[in-house]
């Protein structure tokens, strides 16, 4: 499956604990990654500077759903379920 153009849900909804160029402390959940361009494409795609976790999250029908909003909801729910404060 290919990413939906202009989606970027996986670059917004989840937290990223590793450093990102321009975000040395990582990225909190729900915050737009600084490395997204105006068309919501990753400026680090294919670069060794791209966090490993980003490459480990391939697009899948269940995660991506039928829209950006459904992908944001799914990823936000996953973030909540897997956060350190989850019970």
Q: What is the structure's pLDDT at 83?
A: 80
List average pLDDT for each run of 10 residues in the chain, which is 87 residues long.
93 95 96 97 94 91 95 95 70
Report the pLDDT value the prediction gives residue 82, as an integer from 0 to 100. Answer: 86
What is residue 85's predicted lDDT score, i.e. its pLDDT?
63
pLDDT in tens, 4-18: 999 999 999 999 999
Distances (CA, A) of 22 to 27, 36, 49, 53, 60: 10, 11, 11, 17, 28
pTM for the structure as a whole = 0.87
Strand, coil or helix: what is 63?
helix
- For the chain, give every domain's residue range: 9-82
Identify whether the C-beta of residue 72 lies closer than 8 Å to the C-beta of residue 13: yes
């Amino acid at each position: 499956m290919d990413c939906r153009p202009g989606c970027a849900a996986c670059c917004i909804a989840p937290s990223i604990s590793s450093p990102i160029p321009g975000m040395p402390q990582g990225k909190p959940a729900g915050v737009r990654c600084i490395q997204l361009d105006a068309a919501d494409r990753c400026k680090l795609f294919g670069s060794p500077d791209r966090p490993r976790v980003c490459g480990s999250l391939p697009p899948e029908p269940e995660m991506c759903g039928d829209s950006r909003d459904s992908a944001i909801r799914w990823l936000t729910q996953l973030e909540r379920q897997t956060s350190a404060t989850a019970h």
